[in-house]
Amino acid sequence: MLKLNDSTLQIQPSPTNQKGEDVNYYRDTLLPMMREGKWEEIQQYNVIQLPQKCIKFSSDKWDLRLLDKENPTVLLFTFNGKVLPNRLRNEVKAVVLAKMFTGRKTITLGSIRAWLDYLKALMIEMPKLGLESFSQLTDEKLKDIVELNPNAFNSPSKACAVNALIEYYEALPFHIHFSHQTTKKLGVESKKQEQHLAIPPRIYTALLTHFSKEVNDLMPHLEQIQNEISRMFDIKAKFKSYLLQQFRCGNILNPFNDKATLDKIKAKFEQEECCLIDDLEEEKHSPGRWMQIIDEMKPNLHSFSSYPKNATWSYEPFQVGERRFNTIGGFKKFLNESDTKSKALCLLLSGMRIDELNSMHPIYGAQSYTYNGQTIFLFTTRQSKITQGQQTEEDIFVTNQTGHNAFRLLTTIHHPYLNQICDDDKVSYFASIRTDSYLKTVAKSQWAKSLSRKVNKWIEDNVGNLISTEDESFLRISNPSNTGIEAGATFKFTNHQTRRSFAFYMIGLELMAYPQLKKQLSHLSSAMTRHYANNASYWGALRTEIQQERVYQKSQLLTNVYERLAKGGNIAGGKGKTLKKLAGSKNYFESGHGDRRLNPDYWAKLIKDGKEHIHAIAPGMYCTNAQCDMRINVAMDECVDCEFDFIMDGLYAEGKRLAAHRNLAVLDEMNDLNHNVA
């Protein structure tokens, strides 16, 4: 059954019969006709009733954007612009209606669209085997399709798409003659999904450092920002009134953005039998009617720069702290940049996805609590106060003070806009800052696309978006399955990368691989540990991704150890020396038992099973003793020749040794050197 944001919306035509009883239009009216083969007659039937129009069964484009403005959906019953076979097209439309109007499980329009796209890949292959209906599909025929085109089922989602026919078979006009399918049963090797790229350290560090500084610097000026936004609205309202009044009096030929808009306005006023250029005469007969017609059409007006200032709508420069903006355009540019940096930080510092950020309520989105003396900062999609204890779904994300500040700045900017937008016009908690004449909110798909574009522009202008040699090395190590990475190519930031990068660097920090990020992420790392320890009943998707990243990076570390041994390299530390001695002249590149140690999957399985362990004790220094990981205080001198430790990079240890020599020399000069210091 379709899940709608507006539960009062009735999208089935004829929801009641002549006796006033509730009926299911698809099940009680359309399905019997389909089973009788009356497909020609059904073509002209309305199957979905929208607020302003009805969709007929015959249409190959079901435009359902009015049902969910936040996630606009259009169902296309074509494949790459080509018409699908007639009978299969009719049958798949019936399946879509069955999914929408029957069944106990609630589904979204987005999931129906994704399912339809997967099934169409199968439908396009069926005629090649002489199959005209889903009722002709059998287990053998499905395997024949795999032989014809393995890509038809090269992912679990594609294999599962055909299973929906079994799930809804009672509400379908055709019989089912195949069993539940999987990629394994079909004999298809599932295509391995490529991970989203982790943002290179050079770019990731720059984003966090610069965006954090700008957001934190604005915290003392939040009230001033809101006041200046409200003042901007007053100025724009006066300008709009001035401009339209001049137009009504014939002093301005066209106050609108283009001639096409003016033509539409003229046609509307003629239809309403209202004079457009009336010298304000209409106000004597029907006060407010002229403006009501204009407001219904919401036309875009010319900008301020097109007209000289006058006493009616002139204004003083806008000020935020020490910053001054002489024009509304300059002030709006500042708001847009602050909006972009705040949204990016919310994602970078929490691991949330775009969907979750879009769902955060201005009042309840950022919350916190104190645990063992530490403030735990949280983001949540709940619209209520968080109660400490069990977490039963993934609606809470740990962040830090800067993350909270970013969300506070976001709500500060958008609050004045939302206050002026009618509830019926709100599709999200984020407004369009660019809009001049008539304010509106923006759907997730719109602001998400804008966010990635603006962040890419910032990267290009401030740190450079060409992949360096160091970037290439990092990307190949962190994303070995992604083959299209070369130095000199353009790095493209996408919103999907923020979650992978969050998990990657949180584990990297845990393994002491990225000390440059310690300032931004160390508090966040400890807060996550404490929060999840206190809410251990729930293991959500983000925690799963972080755990997968932990296993991945640790397995890479252990692989690197044996690769160095295989190449005859040196590894310090007690375990390093032992491994070197055991390896002797053994070649780990030869097939057999040894070469497994060069495969990260081998180590990943051992780590998951608890048979292997590794943690960092310092940059480039690691311990394989699980018991050591549980100790609170470990002296570094205990680790140098410990049987569990190995040192891959001696820079940190050498730095500590040189610092100790320097300190001892200074103490000796000051005659403070004694056995206690040593």
Give me the residue spans of the domains in the chain: 25-186, 201-222+328-498, 224-320, 543-678
Q: Which residues have a Cβ under 8 Å from the Cβ of 598 and sit 6 or more positions away?
A: 559, 562, 563, 566, 588, 589
State the burial class of residue 7 (Cβ atoms within 10 Å of its Cβ: 0-12, 13-18, 19+): exposed
**Which of the two residues, 75 and 527, has the higher pLDDT score?**
75
pLDDT at residue number 221: 97
Residue 180 CB neighbours (<10 A):
12
The amino acid sitting at 390 is: Q
- Mean pLDDT along residues 72-99: 90
Q: Is the pLDDT of residue 593 over 60?
A: no
Least confident of 9-18, 153-162, 171-180, 477-486: 9-18
Q: Is the dihedral of CA 356, 422, 338, 495 positive or negative?
A: positive
Q: Is the pLDDT of residue 67 over 70?
A: yes
Q: What is the mean pLDDT of the chain?
A: 82
253-259: long-range contacts at Cβ-Cβ below 8 A with a sequence spacing of 24 or more? Answer: 255/301, 255/302, 256/299, 256/300, 256/301, 256/302, 257/299, 257/300, 257/301, 257/302
Record the pTM.
Answer: 0.69
- Mean pLDDT along residues 283-294: 88
pLDDT at residue number 110: 84
pLDDT at residue number 231: 93
pLDDT at residue number 204: 93
- Mean pLDDT along residues 209-233: 96
With tokens 């209202």, the residue in question is 274
How far apart CA 600 and CA 549 sit, in angstroms, is 12
- Mean pLDDT along residues 34-59: 89
pLDDT at residue number 655: 59
pLDDT at residue number 178: 92
How far apart CA 454 and CA 278 sit, in angstroms, is 44
Q: Is the pLDDT of residue 457 over 80?
A: yes
| Of the candidates 84, 67, 66, 86, the residue with the CA atom closest to the CA atom of residue 76 | 84
Per-residue pLDDT of 524-570, as tens digits, reads: 777 776 666 565 445 567 777 888 888 888 898 888 888 887 777 77
pLDDT at residue number 300: 85
With tokens 């509304």, the residue in question is 328
- Mean pLDDT along residues 355-369: 89
- Mean pLDDT along residues 390-417: 86
Least confident of 68-77, 339-348, 430-439: 68-77
pLDDT at residue number 209: 94
With cut-offs at 50, 70 and 90, classify the pLDDT of residue 105: confident
pLDDT at residue number 160: 82
Q: Is the pLDDT of residue 493 over 90?
A: yes
pLDDT at residue number 632: 47
Query: How many Cα atoms sit within 13 Å of 295 on the Cβ side?
Result: 11
Q: Is the pLDDT of residue 35 over 90?
A: yes
Per-residue pLDDT of 296-355, as tens digits, reads: 888 888 877 666 667 767 789 999 999 999 988 899 999 999 999 999 999 999 989 998
Q: Is the pLDDT of residue 629 over 60?
A: no
Contact call for residues 607 and 555 (beta carbons, < 8 A):
yes
Per-residue pLDDT of 579-589, as tens digits, reads: 777 666 666 55
| Tokens found for residue 603 | 């180590």
Contact call for residues 608 and 551 (beta carbons, < 8 A):
yes
pLDDT at residue number 16: 46
pLDDT at residue number 36: 94
**3-state secondary structure (DSSP) of residue 496:** coil
Per-residue pLDDT of 144-192, as tens digits, reads: 998 888 777 877 788 888 998 999 989 999 999 999 988 888 887 655 5
223-227: long-range contacts at Cβ-Cβ below 8 A with a sequence spacing of 24 or more? Answer: 224/319, 224/320, 224/321, 225/320, 225/335, 225/409, 225/412, 225/413, 226/412, 226/415, 226/416
DSSP 605-665: HHHHTTS---EEEETTEEE--TTGGG-S---GGGTTT-TTEEES--HHHHHHHHHHHHHHH
pLDDT at residue number 389: 53
